[in-house]
C-alpha cells in the first residue's frame, strides 16, 4: 500500500509518546514493504530527515508555554483557531502531497497545531480514505474554542467526518463522545506496543531489605503526577523508610516540581536525570536497574507507552487506579493500581519494602503478556488490515483540489473574523 | 420522489441597514415564482440570521427562516449563526444571492464541503475583498447573471447561466466600506420591470438541471 502519514511532530522532533509511536509504526510499515511518506511540520530544532519524511507543515506551537503565556489574548485566540480549525497553508501542503504521492490511504496521527479540522475536512472533501490513530482525544481538541467544545463543531464533526478510528483505549472514545463529538465510522481499539526481541526472563526481583529502585519517565509535570511521587517519597521517609530511590527521566518545565525534592527534603532519594532517549531508557530496563515504574498519571491518560516498555522487562508498574493502560492490565496480576494520591503510592511502596507485595509473579506475568500480545509484530496485521479496509471503502463524491484549497482559505478567514469580533465584543464589555 | 428544498441566502442583511424590506420582498417574490413553477412541489427556504429566530410559512412553497445570530456582528453583513449547518442540511440546493455577507460565505463553506449543488448570483460588483480575493464564485456549480453582457465578461471556469432581467442590486442596498454599518446611497426605486415570473422559470430550469446532474453523479 501507499500510505501517507500526517503527524504534527516527527522524531527526532518530539514531545511525547504520540510521535514516537508514529515513527515506530512508520518504520514497521516500511519494513513490511509498504510505501510510506510522512508529512509533518518543520522541526523546532534543526534535525536530519530521511527521504520519506517531508517537513513542510506549519506548526502553530501551542505546546510552547513560553510563547503562549506571553501572548496577548487576541494573539493567543487567533493562534488557537489556526492550531485546531483551519490553516490554509497546511491544506495546500496536504493537497500537494496527495498529488505527488497519490496514496491509497492516509494515516492520521496527532493533528493538533496543524489546523487539523481543515486537514480532515480536506480529506473528506477529496474523498481520500483515512485511518486515525487516536493516542489522545484529538478530534475533541479540534472542536474546541479555548477550553470549551463548540456544539456546532461537535455536531458537524459527527455528521460529516467519517472514517476509521484506532483509539488506544476505550477511555479515549468515552472522553471524546462525552462532549458530544461523535466518532462516525469504524472504531477499533488497539493498544500501544513494545518493540525488540523477547529478552530472557528476569531472574531477580526486589527482595525486602534491598533498596527499592523506583523509576518514572515522560513529561515531568503535575498532570503526570510527578509531584505526588515526590510527596510519596517524603511520606515514606516520615514512616521511617530510607532505603529507596526515585529516578525521574524527562524534561522538567515546571519549576514548582523541580524544587519539590528540596522543599520536601528528599533530595537524596529523588533525582531528575533530564531527557533520555527511548533506547537509553530501554537499556536501563534491560539491565534490570529498576524494580518499579511509578505512573501516577492523571485519570484521563489515554494509554502510557513508558510504563509498558518498563513492564516488558519485569519492572512492575504502580499506576493510577483508572487510566488508559489500566484497561489492558489487571491489578495484582500484571501491575499494581492505587488511588492517585501520595499516601496511596507511599502505601504501595511501603508494602513492597515490607515484603507484603511480591513483585516477582506480577513482573513475570506482565512481561509474558506484553511480549505476546503487545508486541508491534502482533498488532501490525490489525493495523495493516484497517488501512487496507479503509483504502477499499467505496468513495463518495470527489471534490476538486483547487476548491479544497479555496475552502480552507475561506474557513481560515471566517474563523479569524469571528475570533476578532468576539475580542472586540469582550473588550467593549 | 423526495420533495426538493432550495435554500436562499444573501441580500437580506441589507434590509437591516436600509430599514426597508426591499431585499426580503425581492427574494420572496423570486422564491414564490420558483415554487409556482415547480407546481408547488418544491420548497424555497429563505434564510438569514437575526435577533428574533423563527421559521414561518410565507406562502405555498416558501418558508422564511431567521437563525439565531452569534455574538455582536460589527455590520449587518457580518451576521452569522451556529444553526446554519443544521438549516443547510435540509437543502438539496443552495442559492447565494450575494457575495458580500458572512452568512453567505459560511453557507458556501458548509454546502461545498457537503457537495451540495450551489448557485451564486453574480452582479459584477467590485470591492468585496473576500469574494474577489478568494475567487469564491469558482466554488459555485453555476454562476447566475441577470445581465448577458456581464456573463460574457466573467472570467470564471464555472458554467455561467443567464436569467435575463433588468435588475439593479444597488436598489436593495450594498454595504459601504467595512466596518461601516451603512449602505452605499440607496437607489430610490425598486428594480423596475423585473419579471419575477420569467426569472422564476429560468431559475427553476437551472436548478432542475443542476439537481439532475448531481443525482447522475451520485449514481
The predicted pLDDT at position B208 comes to: 97
User: For helices A151-160 and A116-125, what crossing angle results, to 10°?
Assistant: 30
Judged by CB atoms closer than 8 Å, whether chains meet at B72 and A417 is answered as no
Q: What is the dihedral of CA B190, B196, B199, B203, to 10 degrees?
A: 110
Provide the shortest C-alpha distance from residue A96 to chain B (in Å): 19
Judged by CB atoms closer than 8 Å, whether chains meet at B105 and A410 is answered as yes
Closest CB from B74, B86, B106 relative to A421? B74
pLDDT tens digits, A306-363: 999 999 999 999 999 989 999 999 999 999 999 999 999 999 999 999 999 999 999 9
pLDDT tens digits, B89-142: 999 999 999 988 999 999 999 999 999 999 999 988 876 777 778 888 999 999
Across chain B, mean pLDDT equals: 92
Query: Are the C-beta atoms of A57 and A41 separated by less than 8 Å?
Result: yes
Closest CB from A150, A397, A406 relative to B115? A397
Query: Are the C-beta atoms of B89 and B83 separated by less than 8 Å?
Result: no
* Stated pTM of the model: 0.91
Using alpha carbons, list the distances in angstroms from residue B196 to B20, B42, B44, B192, B202: 20, 17, 15, 11, 10
B95 closest CA partner among B81, B80, B111, B84: B111
Provide the shortest C-alpha distance from residue A389 to chain B (in Å): 22
Residues 6+ apart with CB under 8 A from B11: B23, B26, B27, B97, B98, B101, B169, B172
Provide the shortest C-alpha distance from residue B42 to chain A (in Å): 24
Confidence of residue B71 (pLDDT cuts 50, 70, 90): confident
Burial (CB < 10 A; 0-12, 13-18, 19+), residue A242, is exposed
Query: Are the C-beta atoms of A161 and A120 separated by less than 8 Å?
Result: yes
Eight-state DSSP code of residue A331: B
Enumerate the β-bridge partners of residue B44.
B6, B62
d(CA A188, CA A168): 9
Which of B111, B113, B134, B213 has the highest number of chain A CBs within 10 A, making it the mutation to test binding with A? B113
Question: Over 70: is that where the pLDDT of B159 sits?
Answer: yes
Question: Over 70: is that where the pLDDT of B10 sits?
Answer: yes
What number is the average pLDDT over the span B10-38?
95
The predicted pLDDT at position B127 comes to: 64
The C-alpha R_g of chain A, in whole angstroms, comes to: 23
Confidence of residue B191 (pLDDT cuts 50, 70, 90): low
d(CA A292, CA A301): 19
| Closest CA in chain A for residue B88 | A156
d(CA A169, CA A195): 19
Q: Classify each residue of A269-301 as buried b or exposed e, where b means 16 or more C-beta atoms within 10 Å of its C-beta.
A: bbebeeebebeebbebbeebebbbbbbbbeeeb
ipTM: 0.94
Q: What is the bridge-based pairing of β-strands A162-167 and A148-149?
A: unpaired
d(CA A347, CA A231): 12
Positions in chain A whose pLDDT score sits under 70: none
The predicted pLDDT at position B190 comes to: 62
d(CA A127, CA A36): 20
The predicted pLDDT at position B1 comes to: 62
Which of B79, B90, B115 has the highest number of chain A CBs within 10 A, making it the mutation to test binding with A? B115
Judged by CB atoms closer than 8 Å, whether chains meet at B82 and A156 is answered as no
pLDDT tens digits, A411-421: 999 999 989 88
Amino acid at each position: 500500500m501507499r500510505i501517507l502519514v500526517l503527524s504534527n511532530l516527527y522524531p527526532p522532533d518530539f514531545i511525547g509518546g504520540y510521535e514516537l509511536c508514529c515513527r515506530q509504526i512508520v518504520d514497521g510499515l516500511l519494513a513490511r514493504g509498504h510505501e510510506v511518506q510522512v508529512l509533518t511540520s518543520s522541526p523546532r530544532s534543526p534535525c536530519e530527515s530521511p527521504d520519506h519524511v517531508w517537513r513542510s507543515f506549519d506548526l502553530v506551537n501551542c505546546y510552547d508555554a513560553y510563547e503562549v503565556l506571553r501572548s496577548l489574548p487576541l494573539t493567543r485566540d487567533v493562534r488557537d483557531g489556526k492550531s485546531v480549525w483551519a490553516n490554509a497553508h497546511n491544506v495546500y501542503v496536504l493537497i500537494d502531497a496527495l498529488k505527488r504521492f497519490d496514496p491509497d490511504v492516509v494515516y492520521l496521527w496527532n493533528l493538533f497545531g496543524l489546523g487539523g479540522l481543515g486537514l480532515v475536512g480536506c480529506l473528506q472533501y477529496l474523498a481520500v480514505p483515512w485511518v486515525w490513530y487516536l493516542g489522545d482525544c484529538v478530534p475533541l481538541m479540534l472542536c474546541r474554542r479555548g477550553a470549551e467544545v463548540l456544539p456546532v463543531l461537535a455536531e458537524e464533526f459527527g455528521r460529516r467526518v467519517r472514517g476509521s478510528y484506532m483509539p488506544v483505549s476505550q477511555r479515549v472514545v468515552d472522553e471524546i463522545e462525552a462532549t458530544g463529538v461523535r466518532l462516525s465510522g469504524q472504531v477499533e481499539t488497539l493498544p500501544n506496543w513494545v518493540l525488540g526481541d523477547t529478552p530472557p526472563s528476569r531472574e531477580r526481583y526486589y527482595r525486602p531489605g534491598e533498596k527499592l529502585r523506583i523509576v518514572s519517565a515522560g513529561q515531568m509535570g503535575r498532570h503526570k503526577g510527578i509531584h505526588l511521587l515526590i510527596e510519596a517519597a517524603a511520606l515514606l521517609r516520615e514512616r521511617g523508610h530510607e532505603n529507596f530511590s526515585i529516578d525521574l527521566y524527562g524534561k522538567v518545565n515546571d519549576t514548582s516540581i523541580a524544587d519539590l525534592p528540596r522543599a520536601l527534603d528528599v533530595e537524596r532519594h529523588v533525582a531528575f536525570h533530564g531527557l533520555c532517549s527511548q533506547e537509553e531508557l530501554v537499556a536501563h530496563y534491560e539491565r534490570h536497574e529498576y524494580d518499579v515504574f511509578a505512573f501516577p498519571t492523571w485519570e484521563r491518560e489515554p494509554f502510557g507507552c513508558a510504563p509498558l516498555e518498563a513492564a516488558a522487562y519485569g519492572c512492575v508498574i504502580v499506576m493510577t487506579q483508572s487510566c488508559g493502560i489500566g484497561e489492558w492490565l489487571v491489578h495484582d496480576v500484571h501491575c499494581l493500581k492505587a488511588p492517585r494520591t501520595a499516601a496511596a503510592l507511599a502505601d504501595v511502596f511501603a508494602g513492597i519494602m515490607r515484603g507484603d507485595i511480591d513483585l516477582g509473579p506480577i513482573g513475570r506475568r506482565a512481561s509474558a503478556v506484553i511480549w505476546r500480545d503487545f508486541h508491534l509484530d502482533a498488532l501490525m496485521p490489525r493495523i495493516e488490515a484497517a488501512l487496507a479496509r479503509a483504502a477499499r471503502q467505496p468513495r463518495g463524491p470527489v471534490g476538486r483540489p483547487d476548491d479544497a484549497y479555496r475552502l480552507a482559505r475561506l474557513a481560515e478567514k471566517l474563523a479569524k473574523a469571528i475570533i476578532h469580533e468576539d475580542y472586540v465584543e469582550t473588550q467593549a464589555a | 420522489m423526495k420533495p426538493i428544498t432550495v435554500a436562499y441566502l444573501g441580500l437580506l442583511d441589507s434590509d437591516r441597514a436600509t430599514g426597508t424590506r426591499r431585499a426580503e420582498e425581492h427574494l420572496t417574490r423570486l422564491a414564490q415564482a420558483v415554487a409556482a413553477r415547480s407546481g408547488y412541489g418544491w420548497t424555497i427556504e429563505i434564510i438569514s440570521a437575526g435577533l428574533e429566530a423563527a421559521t414561518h410559512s410565507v406562502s405555498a412553497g416558501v418558508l422564511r427562516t431567521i437563525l439565531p445570530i452569534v455574538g455582536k456582528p460589527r455590520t449587518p453583513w457580518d451576521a452569522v449563526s451556529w444553526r446554519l449547518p443544521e438549516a443547510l442540511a435540509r437543502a438539496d440546493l443552495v442559492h447565494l444571492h450575494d457575495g458580500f455577507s458572512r452568512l453567505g460565505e459560511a453557507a458556501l463553506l458548509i454546502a461545498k464541503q457537503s457537495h451540495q449543488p450551489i448557485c451564486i448570483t453574480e452582479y459584477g460588483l467590485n470591492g468585496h475583498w473576500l469574494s474577489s480575493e478568494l475567487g469564491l464564485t469558482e466554488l459555485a456549480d453555476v454562476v447566475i447573471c441577470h445581465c448577458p453582457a456581464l456573463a460574457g465578461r466573467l472570467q470564471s471556469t464555472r458554467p455561467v447561466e443567464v436569467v435575463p432581467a433588468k435588475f439593479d442590486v444597488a436598489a436593495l442596498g450594498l454595504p459601504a466600506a467595512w466596518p461601516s454599518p451603512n449602505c452605499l446611497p440607496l437607489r430610490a426605486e425598486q428594480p423596475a420591470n423585473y419579471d419575477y415570473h420569467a426569472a422564476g422559470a429560468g431559475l427553476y430550469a437551472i436548478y432542475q438541471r443542476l439537481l439532475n446532474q448531481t443525482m447522475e453523479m451520485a449514481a
